[in-house]
């Protein structure tokens, strides 16, 4: 019996590589906005209305106009090219939902930590989390209107980041800017993986 040659087996119609990325950061920093701006599909959101029960629990200083919050995750997808698809998982920002992070981080190649210069200290829990797990990450400074602009070197120093951790500017509302942040993360993650392999060989 004769069989036709399979294009997929020949590598001419291979499935794209799927990569999992986390979008992290403090409460109200723009994680849901970034996932929504860049996703090519309708993003999955698990937002709930902020009620009086959050008074004294959630710190709304600097984001007083915020009326909803992510309680599980945001999910979106973006195709970088025919060989690469990114699956984005936005993490919840409040401490009481951090038990979700361990599940979401399984299999993640890296993370984008969004930063708001008005509440820069909110980045530290995310940075500590990924540093502790050895997960490659970058810091993307979300450019909020009316917020004071700082030099990226100042942000790096304030967050006490290792020199190899990229710090970039990002407007989470803009697809192009969000995509550039994701590409920066991919490049950093590949460099980190190559460095680890070289260290093992040595």
**Nearest-angstrom CA–CA distance, 81 and 179:** 12
Strand 84-90, strand 68-81: pairing = antiparallel
Q: Are the CB atoms for 22 and 91 separated by under 8 Å?
A: yes
Would you state the pLDDT for residue 82?
A: 86
- CA 139 to chain centroid, in Å, comes to 9
131 has pLDDT over 70: yes
Distances (CA, A) of 24 to 8, 12, 82, 118, 132: 36, 36, 26, 17, 15
Give, in degrees to the nearest 5, the angle at Cα 169 between 50 and 48. Answer: 15
The mean pLDDT value for 161-187 works out to 95
Would you state the pLDDT for residue 146?
A: 76
| Angle between helix 175-201 and 31-38 (nearest 10) | 100
116 has pLDDT over 90: yes
Burial 178-197 (b: 16+ CB within 10 A, else e): bbbbbebbbebbeebeeeee
Q: What CATH class does 16-201 carry?
A: alpha beta
Q: 177 vs 197, which has greater pLDDT?
A: 177
180 has pLDDT over 60: yes
- pLDDT band for 98, please (50, 70, 90 cuts): low
Q: 77 vs 97, which has greater pLDDT?
A: 77
The mean pLDDT value for 49-77 works out to 56
Q: 2 vs 118, which has greater pLDDT?
A: 118
pTM more than 0.85? no
Domain locations along the chain: 16-201
For residue 112 the two structure tokens come to 């984008």
């Amino acid at each position: 019996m004769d069989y036709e040659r399979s294009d997929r087996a020949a590598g001419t119609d291979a499935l794209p590589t799927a990569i999992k990325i986390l979008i992290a950061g403090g409460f109200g920093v723009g994680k849901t906005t970034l996932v929504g701006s860049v996703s090519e599909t309708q993003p999955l959101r698990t937002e709930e209305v902020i009620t009086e029960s959050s008074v004294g629990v959630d710190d709304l200083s600097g984001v007083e106009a915020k009326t909803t919050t992510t309680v599980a995750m945001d999910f979106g997808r973006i195709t970088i090219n025919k060989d690469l698809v990114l699956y984005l998982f936005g993490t919840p920002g409040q401490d009481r939902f951090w038990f979700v992070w361990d599940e979401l981080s399984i299999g993640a190649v890296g993370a984008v930590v969004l930063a708001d210069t008005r509440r820069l200290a909110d980045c530290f829990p995310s940075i500590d989390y990924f540093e502790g797990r050895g997960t490659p990450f970058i810091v993307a400074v979300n450019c909020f209107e009316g917020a004071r602009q700082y030099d990226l070197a100042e942000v790096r120093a304030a967050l006490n980041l290792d020199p190899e951790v990229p710090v970039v500017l990002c407007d989470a509302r803009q697809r192009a800017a969000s995509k550039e942040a994701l590409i920066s993360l991919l490049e950093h993650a590949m460099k980190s993986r190559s460095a680890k392999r070289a260290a093992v060989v040595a």
